[in-house]
Amino acid sequence: MVKRFDRDRLPDPVSGFEAEGLTLKGPGLWKTTACPFHGGRDSMRINTESGAWRCMNCGEHGGDLLAFVMRFHLLEFMQAAERLGAVVEDGTPSRPRPKATLSPAAALALIQSETWLIACTALATADALPDEQDRARLIEAARTIQHIMSEVPA
Ligand SMILES: [Zn+2]
């Protein structure tokens, strides 16, 4: 399975930092919290919109929640993204994907319907390019076919 980072699934900075155990205090865009790196009580500033963080005392800093999780837990990018629930298996977003246990017959039926969609669109657009949505659906159809090819045992 191909795993992929999906930024849209990141928690908002406030809930993300709170889930990491930080207590954000104060009004305004920048909140104050204890620095988990050097132990100071209120030296860290966190931007509630971007998630940027900086300790005014020890100087630890980063551009967003992901950078914080990487630095604090010493994780690689994808590990940090996974911890934050922002990793999906490729192809997951909108439609449920065919199961890995797809039977050859079901796979063929799915390929047939996806191919039919491509053929119909090709006919309907003989002298006009498909619009953005049509193109996106065609690409999805092609990816579905590719996915089936990779999942069905030879
Ligand atoms: Zn610090």
DSSP string, 62-128: ESSHHHHHHHHHT--HHHHHHHTT-EEETT-SSSPPPPTT--HHHHHHHHHHHHHHHHHHHHHTTTS
In the reported structure, the alpha carbon of residue 79 is separated from the centroid of ligand 1 by a whole-number distance in angstroms of 23
Task: Round to whole Å and give the CA distance between 43 and 108.
Answer: 61
Task: Round to whole Å and give the CA distance between 28 and 67.
Answer: 22
In the reported structure, the alpha carbon of residue 116 is separated from the centroid of ligand 1 by a whole-number distance in angstroms of 60
In the reported structure, the alpha carbon of residue 69 is separated from the centroid of ligand 1 by a whole-number distance in angstroms of 15
- The pLDDT of residue 129 is 64
Whole-prediction pTM value? 0.58
| One pLDDT digit (tens) per residue for the chain, 154 residues | 788 999 999 999 999 999 999 999 999 999 999 999 998 789 999 999 999 999 999 999 999 999 999 999 999 999 999 999 999 987 655 444 444 567 777 778 878 777 877 777 777 766 666 677 777 777 888 888 877 777 766 5
In the reported structure, the alpha carbon of residue 75 is separated from the centroid of ligand 1 by a whole-number distance in angstroms of 19
In the reported structure, the alpha carbon of residue 43 is separated from the centroid of ligand 1 by a whole-number distance in angstroms of 6
3-class state of residue 60 by DSSP? coil
The residue written with tokens 């992901």 in the block is 66
pLDDT in tens, 71-106: 999 999 999 999 999 999 876 554 444 445 677 777
